[in-house]
Each structure stands twice: as structure tokens, then as C-alpha cells.
A and B are shown apart, each in its own frame.
Chain A
Amino acid sequence: MAKNRYIVLLDNQNEKSIRDVEKGFSVSVTSSEYLSKENRSFNIIDNNHAVLYKNLGVVVVDDVDEEQLTRSIADSRSPVIYFEKEKEFFPANEISLINDLKTNVDQLKNKISELENYIRNKPIPKPAVTELEWGLKAIGIGETQFSGKGIDVCILDTGFDVSHPDFTDRVIDGKSFIEDEEWNKDPNGHGTHCAGIACGNVRNDTGKRYGIAKDSNLKIGKVLANNGKGTTSSIIDAIDWAITKKYRIISLSLASPVKLNEKPSALFETVGNRALDSNCLIIAAAGNESKRPALPLPVSAPANSLSIMAVAAIDNQMRIARFSNAGINAATGGNINVCAPGVDVLSSYPKKSANSGNYLLLSGTSMATPHVSGLAALYMEQFPDLNAREIWELLESRAKPIENLKYRDIGKGLIQVIQR
């Protein structure tokens, strides 16, 4: 059986002190000068002896009462002034082995992390998604249980048709910033379509889902007139209103074209930052001026502001939409942040005649933008402690690149749900 061995430091090494130790601890002290090949220290110590190392003033002893040693230190008459239990030291080769193992574990962890990142960011191949609801599948909507519950999503657009059958049981707030036009009607139809993508649910005829954040709180700001046009005033008025109301997401499926090398608007740059400071994320369409492949044009305002998230559009073959603007003015701001489905997207639409339906396929970066706004609402429900800036970072970091498509055109890639 292994015994505890102690290193005992003596106040002095005179004969009285040695005798006190021998008597007090019932051992026989042998001086280290008598150690030899035949008379090794461990043999002496094992035989109820102790070894005194004269030059060190230390006695090595085993199988003694530790409490007695402790009491001896407290006793001023005792020569013992300090003791400690003998420590075991690994031979250098064993330590090396453990260090090697630790290194191997670290390397393995790095490889697992690299593999995880690779799988997460693996470029999306080009599938032929032909269903009408292809956009929701492309962002993986079936992989999440979140629905944007409790999150206020504000759509600033042409208004909203509150009589649409899919929304009659929803509580929807709104305000018009266009003179003599009401927010709760939408003769244009564009706003109803965008709101349907971000906050809609399922079709009342087929039961198929077309909206993303179906349990979010839909808020409408009418900033574009029925002819589809708006001004800085109406947009700034509405953003100020939305921030004052503490809405978490502002979706802007509108844009004003900019020239090559034109600097972003300092006004919208500040507005975007002040919205983020108020925990509100502004997401905007990159614009539809491009005529690809020959002529990609720069991201429009206000999406070209660094503090506003810019969204490009892709089609169901995972190709960049021919109209989708690009990060051409990246040196002065105006890069694309992410892309989303924006070609032949089905959503709610006002019924304009007896022969028309409640749904329509539309294309544009306008349609891509509410995909991101709806998904942001799901993220905000899933990660309630994250602020608007962190949600933005998460949308980008979880987006997937698409094979053969450039960062200039799609930013970090196609937005994706976070599985849970």
C-alpha cells in the first residue's frame, strides 16, 4: 500500500532538534551523507527511518500523523516550521504524451469545425424547383417551427387590402403617409403582395403556404401612392413612425436608382443607424434596373446605405434575376448583403375583378425583400435576446453561397432558416 511521504523543514539541525523529531514522530533520522548505492533513501525511509538532507535542512519521512505535523508547526518548542506532502512528477515523456494528445484533440476540434462550416456554407446546387411556392422551399421554411409570433413587422409600401380573405381574422395596424389615400386599401396590389410574402400564411383555396412569418404582427405604412410612386418625405415620416412604435423590422420594397460611383445618401445612412440603435432592422430592395447579363447596375437608394440591408433576387433555378442590381458601387457603399427568391413569387393580391383571383405571381427585388423581412421575424422569435444588429449578422452568416454566383450579385448568399 502506498504511504504518504512528507517533506519537513526544520528550524535548525542541532542534536536536540533531531532527537525531538525522532522522539516526537517515532522515527530514526539518518543523515544523507550516509546514503550510497547500497543504502538508498527510499529503503531507509520505508524502514521507519527518516533522511535528513543537511544542506537543505529538510527531513523526508513517511507514514507519520499529518495532524501531528500541523500541531508541531504551531508549537514554538518544536523544530518543525513547515511541511508538505510529497508530490509526484511525471517523467518528461509522459507529459509529452499528454501534451501530444491535447494537441491532437485541438486539431481534431479544428477539423470538425472546418467540416461543419463547409457543410453549412456548401454552395447550393442548381435544382429545378418548379412549384409555385418554390421560394419558401429554397429558404428551408419546412425546417423551422418558428412563425414570427409576437414580432412587429412593418411593410412600407402601397398599402394593404385588409379585405383579403387570408387576412380577415388578423389584427392589422397601419397609417397612411400619402394624402387622401388610405393604408387599408391597395388598388395597386404591390403592398398586399409584399405583406403576404413576409407575414402571410396559407392559401384559402389550396391550403398551400406562401407566407413566412404567419404569426407576426403585421403593420402597414402607406408610403407609395396608388401609382406606385413615393417621396423622401413619406418614407422618412413612416420610418420615424415605425421606430416610435418600436416595430422591430421595416421592409422597404421600393427604391430610387443611383448613378455609377454615386455616394449613398447620408440621410438614409443616418436613419438606418438610428433605427438599429432603436433595435429596428431596415431591409430594402436592391433595385430592378439591371439588364443582365450585359448590364448589371448599382444598388439603388436607400438599400445602398451601409446601415440598411440590401436584398438581391434569384430565380427558381438559383440564377441571379436578370433585373437584380449589383454591388457595383461597393467602394462608396452599396454592396448586396443577401439574396432571396424574387422571380415568379406567388403571394396574396387584391381581387380586382370577378375573373381575377386572390393570388398573383410577381417578380422583383421587391419580392425578395419581404422574404428576408419574414425570416428576420422568425430569427427574432427564435433568438429573443439578440438585437437588430445581431439579427442582421445572423441572417448573413447563415446565408448560403450559390454555385457560380458572385458576391457582387448575391452578397453572402441565399437566406436560410435555422433548423430547430
Chain B
Amino acid sequence: MKTYFGVIRDGWSFKDVKTKLTNLGIKIGKYYPKLKVVKFETDKEIFQIDFDFFIAVEEEKEDFIIQ
């Protein structure tokens, strides 16, 4: 499973986004209401075109380190 973050586009509610993601067979990990960001997991290859309700979708990075 890969973890992604989707930034919800203005005008979309989390409820609508949740329905869309569920219909796509995607499991929602967490919703950040202050940031309007959704964390979700999927094994499928994802394409931005399938997520018109997100400004951007980014895969989780694991290389943040102390500076």
C-alpha cells in the first residue's frame, strides 16, 4: 500500500471527496480539517486526472531528516 496526500480544491467538501474516493475503491487514512488535506492509501497506480477534486496529490516521502 502506498500513502498519498490530496489537497482538497476550494468548493469541495470532505463529505463529497470521501464519497468520490470510496467509489474509486480508495481507503481514507485521515482527514486534516485545518489543512483541508486527505491522507489515503491505495495499491493502484494513481493519475491526477482521476482526482479533479484535489489541487494536487503527492506520495508520502520518508526522507525528511534533521539538518
Contact = CB atoms under 8 A, between A and B. Distances in A.
Interface of A: 157-158, 188, 190, 223-224, 228-233, 235-237, 239-240, 243-244, 253-257, 265-267, 270-271, 274, 278, 285, 287-288, 300-301, 364-366, 369
Nearest to B58: A267
B61 interface: yes
A255 B32 contact: no
Find the residue from B55, B60, B61 having the highest chain A CB count within 10 A: B61
B56 interface: yes
A278 B33 CA distance: 12
A37 B53 CA distance: 91
A237 B37 CA distance: 10
Contacts of B23: none
B67 A287 contact: yes
B34 interface: yes
Interface residues of B, number: 22
Given A236-B35, A236-B37, A278-B34, A267 B5 contact: yes
Given A240-B34, A270-B7, 12 more contacts: A157-B66, A158-B66, A231-B62, A232-B64, A236-B5, A254-B67, A256-B65, A267-B37, A270-B37, A287-B67, A288-B67, A366-B66
Contact of A228 (B32, B37, B65): B65
B65 A254 contact: yes
Interface in B16-67: 30, 32-37, 39, 55-56, 58, 60-67
Contacts of B58: 232, 265-267
A274 B67 contact: no
A188 B35 contact: no
Given A232-B58, A233-B3, A236-B5, A224 B37 contact: no
A224 B7 contact: no
A285 B67 contact: yes
Given A230-B64, A255-B65, A244 B34 contact: yes
